[in-house]
Chains A and B, each alone.
Chain A
């Protein structure tokens, strides 16, 4: 248990980047990105100049539907409705703003999930979306579909969608920064003006999700704490963490917390001031998909 490697838990950043040269004299780089599964990885794909690629593009287009012939789907005002209006399958999608200007062409393992993520992060640029599900979505087929739409758009307008230009990170989900662990006191010899129990009580009530773990969140010292951190990170939830082994800054936390929560072991996870449980319960809820609802409340 103690030897679980970090890399197996922290998934790689879920952004995919594809850089390729479009033409020889003017070589902008293109990027696309999928919001969902980080497992998909693309090696470099080169877009050929339109003149030579046209015949091939046509055959590709016939398989996926041309961008210009695809009907845009207006984004519903409520983000909850997105799942019902957009397919959850793999495919390509093109996001248009209020003036019907194409902003970004993306590739994804779940169209609905990506559209939802964009809608949340850049609502002002998301007005309608054209989508095409790719059957048998291996990476070659997906890349082909994406290329065909990119080539069609560039051929028609001479422009790369702004979101696909290199250096544009508007459509790329930034990996969440690792927060520092919270500390109860500035140091061991601090005279507390309130009982430790009160500090803990305030802490778990004022923060939505708090994890009391062994070790820091970037380097947990016990397998169970490590799994908890991995689950919280994979749920994408904003949480606070405290290292119960930090005797310098959290002196007395272990014993006081055990009494406060009436729970004898660590890690301990609190949501909205209430103890959810330890690693077993969190794991079980994670596997059943119950955490999403809990974190929303």
Chain B
């Protein structure tokens, strides 16, 4: 599972962007790879190869979040990224807002 990080052909970030963008019709989609910040913590150190693309910060603004609780929104994102999560993606930090919520600020 961990060794896949070394033979990534298309980057995980790219795949994530494709999946999220098409499903959520996001008006804003920021994907930031912060894996380097987590390279030292225990579960990452336990992996045999230096893991890549394990931690991301996501900022997503999508009309599809309207009417859903935070838990539901996060679940939507997690469901879209299920394949990634089962293939070495370790954690994602998610900010999920609707266009209306962004406007109010």
Contacts and interface: CB of A to CB of B under 8 A. Distances in A.
B70 interface: yes
B105 interface: no
Interface stretch (B1-9, B16-24, B91-99): B91-99
Contacts of A278: 74
Contacts of B40: 2-3
A224 interface: yes
Nearest to A3: B40
Contacts of A276: 71
A281 B71 CA distance: 7
Contacts of B43: 214, 221-222, 245
Interface in B22-78: 34, 37-38, 40-43, 55, 70-71, 74-75, 78
Residue among A224, A264, A278 with the highest chain B CB neighbour number at 10 A? A264
Interface string A247-266: 00000000000000011110
Nearest to B85: A264
Nearest to B57: A280
Interface string A205-232: 0000000001100000111100000000
Contacts of B95: 280
Nearest to A285: B70
A28 interface: no
Contact of A222 (B41, B70, B82, B94): B41
A284 interface: yes
Interface residues of A, number: 23
A279 interface: yes
Given A2-B41, A215-B42, A221-B41, A265 B71 contact: no
Nearest to B37: A1
A94 to B, nearest CB: 44
A230 to B, nearest CB: 16
Nearest to A224: B91
A262 B82 CA distance: 11
B37 A275 contact: no
Contact of B34 (A1, A214, A285): A1
A272 to B, nearest CB: 14
Nearest to B55: A1
B41 A265 contact: no
Given A265-B85, A279-B93, A284 B70 contact: yes
A277 interface: yes
Contacts of B94: 280
Contact of B74 (A2, A224, A280): A280
Contact of B70 (A221, A223, A263, A277): A277
Query: Which 10 A-B pairs rank lowest in CB-CB distance, beginning with the nearest?
Result: A2-B41, A264-B85, A221-B42, A281-B70, A277-B71, A1-B37, A265-B91, A264-B78, A2-B40, A280-B94
22 contacts: A1-B37, A1-B41, A1-B55, A2-B37, A2-B41, A214-B43, A221-B42, A221-B43, A222-B38, A222-B43, A223-B38, A224-B91, A245-B43, A263-B78, A264-B82, A264-B85, A265-B78, A265-B85, A277-B71, A279-B93, A281-B70, A285-B70
Interface of B: 34, 37-38, 40-43, 55, 70-71, 74-75, 78, 82, 85, 90-95
Interface of A: 1-3, 214-215, 221-224, 245, 262-265, 275-281, 284-285
